[in-house]
Amino acid sequence: EDSIGSARIFFDNYNSIESRLLERNLAVKRGTSSYGHLLFFQTSKRAIELSQLGLNLIESTKQLKNNVGQRIATSDNDIGLRLKNLNVFGSSIGNQCPAPARCRKASRTFRTLDGSCNNLQDPAMGTAFTPLIRLIRPQYADGIWSPRVARDGSELPSARL
């Protein structure tokens, strides 16, 4: 719970920065091509809420790593695996976890719009607005979020170039 509280403080600061930017009118100006692009690709309220939850969970995980990481993991990449199995249902963020998919008989024949129940062995796999289930272990510099770095500690080149 301490890690979650620290993450909430971090996120409150993040939101206050966003509010100050809006107060200073530092936003995309109406009538510009950027504004048209923004309207066309406008993010849904649900996606914004899930993004905020994800950032909150990442920050909570970082705090948890700082508090207990040395005791439960041998390396930064090991910490992500250990924390993945942490049960949060009794915590203040437990109600944020997605509910299990309920599959109807019709979904065995036809695919669903949100992707739930399309995989009979794992009905939640591929569902919209759910975290990506990785097939192989991710490699992050801090085991949680930061991009990998070169052996000498410098930044790696962009994979998108």
Mean pLDDT of 89-115: 76
Percent of the chain whose pLDDT exceeds 70: 86
pLDDT at 70 over 70: no
Short-list 145, 150, 132, 155, CA closest to 66: 145
Neighbouring-strand partners of residue 24: none
Residue 31 has pLDDT above 90, yes or no: yes
pLDDT of residue 132: 76
Task: Tell me the pLDDT of the chain averaged across its residues.
Answer: 80
Question: DSSP of 74-133, one letter per residue?
Answer: SSHHHHHHHHHT---TTSTTGGGSPPPP---GGGGTS--TTSTTSSSS-TTTT-TTSPPP
Q: What is the pLDDT averaged over residues 91-115?
A: 77
Mean pLDDT in residue range 24-37: 90
> Which helix or strand (DSSP H or E) is residue 46 part of?
helix 45-72
For the chain, give every domain's residue range: 2-97
73 has pLDDT over 70: no
Q: What is the pLDDT of residue 152?
A: 92
Q: How far apart are CA 133 and CA 126, in angstroms?
A: 9
pLDDT tier, 74 (very low <50, low <70, confident <90, very high otherwise): low
Predicted confidence (pLDDT) at residue 107 exceeds the cutoff of 70: no
CB neighbour class for 60 (10 Å; exposed up to 12, middle 13-18, buried from 19)? buried
Residue 1 pLDDT level (bands cut at 50, 70, 90): low
Output 133 or 150, whichever has higher pLDDT.
Answer: 150
The tokens describing 125, both together, are 């796999």
Kindly tell me if the per-residue pLDDT of 55 is higher than 70. yes
Helix 45-72 × helix 76-84 angle, to 10°: 120
Q: Which residue has the higher pLDDT, 150 or 95?
A: 150
Percent of the chain with pLDDT over 90: 7
